[in-house]
């Protein structure tokens, strides 16, 4: 494997659809209200993708230097396997952070221009915070992913910040209509993380990576997983009944069909390490929810 291919692998492209689900949902809500702006949408996607790649690089680096990934199931990690040196991955983290910052500045100016200085400052601070959080997830002492705070991190950034933050860029104000889609995507994104942590429960416990799954144990982690997806479904029904104006705007409920099939698989799988293929199903179902939300508004 050449160096470029190694870094592409470390970027973990399969995680990218999940990361942009909130941006797609935020754009869909803006389209429904007639305030959609293509440049805000494109730049929001690029910022989110760059932050996800940054997070993946930092995760590979952080887990690699701590020895967490040596016997993990699933995608190969490049620092742990010795394909990329810790120093090389650290440089990639710094470069990704710089790209994320520059794209973030472009997004802020596209949304607000020079007129709204307060918004410029607020979003600049949020951008720096997002970059710091992406790195802090597994890097350094008190890393979120090692102290059981990863689930809250994902719910906030993949759900609330992603959907409500991106919608704010169009609307220039917070609106309650974005809250339920933000929570739905937040719960489903957290379910992806929990599934990942269930799969790695045995090795994480040995590595003293105290995820929520490790703290709960296998049996309670399953119940927690069911609760996350069930909560997302209940909120989706509430959103449909509250805000839908025509039948096409119920389309997003179709995304829960593969999720219910997934839950049956989780319930019937004793060996948690065999749940790795289910990660893609939950992530793509979350992305499908966002796409169908937008399609419902287009029809």
CATH number at residue 202: 1.10.600
Q: Are 283 and 19 in contact (CB under 8 A)?
A: no
pLDDT (0 to 100) of residue 81: 74
CA dist 11 and 17 (Å) reads 13
The per-residue pLDDT for 64 is 72
Confidence band for 1, pLDDT divided at 50, 70 and 90: low
Contact between residue 111 and residue 169 where contact means Cβ atoms under 8 Å apart = yes
Tally of domains within the chain: 1
Reply yes or no on whether the pLDDT at 138 is more than 90. no
The confidence score (pLDDT) of residue 68 equals 57
DSSP code, position 246:
S
Please indicate whether residue 141 or residue 85 has the higher confidence score (pLDDT): 85
DSSP-assigned states of every residue in 28-40 = HHHHHTT---HHH
Output the CA torsion 127→130→132→134 (10° steps).
-140
- Could you tell me if 284 and 197 are in contact, meaning their C-beta atoms sit under 8 angstroms apart? no
Answer whether residue 45 shows pLDDT above 90: yes
Distance CA 259, CA 252 (A): 12
Average pLDDT value for residue range 23-40: 96
Give the domain extent around 89: 3-298
Instruction: State pLDDT tens for residues 82-121.
Output: 777 888 888 888 898 899 889 988 998 888 877 776 777 7
Q: How far apart are CA 140 and CA 125, in angstroms?
A: 21
């Amino acid at each position: 494997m050449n160096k470029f291919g190694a870094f592409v692998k470390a970027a973990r492209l399969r995680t990218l659809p999940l990361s942009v689900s909130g941006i797609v949902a935020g754009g869909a809500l803006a389209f429904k209200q007639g305030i959609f702006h293509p440049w805000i949408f494109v730049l929001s996607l690029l910022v989110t993708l760059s932050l996800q790649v940054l997070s993946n690089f930092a995760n590979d680096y952080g887990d690699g230097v701590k020895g967490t990934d040596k016997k993990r199931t699933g995608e190969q990690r490049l620092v742990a396997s010795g394909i990329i040196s810790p120093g090389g991955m650290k440089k990639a983290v710094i470069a990704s952070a710089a790209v994320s910052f520059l794209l973030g500045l472009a997004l802020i100016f596209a949304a607000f221009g020079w007129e709204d200085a307060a918004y410029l400052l607020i979003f600049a601070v949020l951008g720096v915070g997002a970059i710091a959080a992406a790195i802090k997830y597994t890097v350094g002492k008190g890393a979120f992913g090692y102290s059981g705070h990863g689930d809250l991190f994902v719910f906030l950034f993949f759900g609330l910040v992603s959907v409500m933050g991106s919608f704010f860029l169009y609307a220039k104000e917070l609106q309650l209509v974005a809250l339920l889609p933000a929570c739905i995507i937040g719960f489903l994104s957290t379910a992806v993380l929990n599934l990942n942590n269930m799969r790695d429960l045995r090795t994480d416990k040995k590595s003293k990576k105290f995820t929520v799954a490790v703290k709960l144990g296998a049996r309670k982690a399953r119940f927690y997983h069911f609760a996350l997806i069930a909560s997302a479904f209940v909120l989706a029904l509430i959103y449909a009944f509250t805000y839908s104006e025509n039948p096409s705007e119920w389309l997003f409920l179709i995304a829960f069909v593969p999720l219910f099939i997934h839950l049956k698989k989780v319930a019937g799988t004793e060996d948690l390490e065999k749940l790795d293929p289910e990660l893609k199903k939950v992530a793509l179902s979350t992305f499908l929810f966002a796409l169908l939300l937008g399609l419902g508004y287009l029809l």
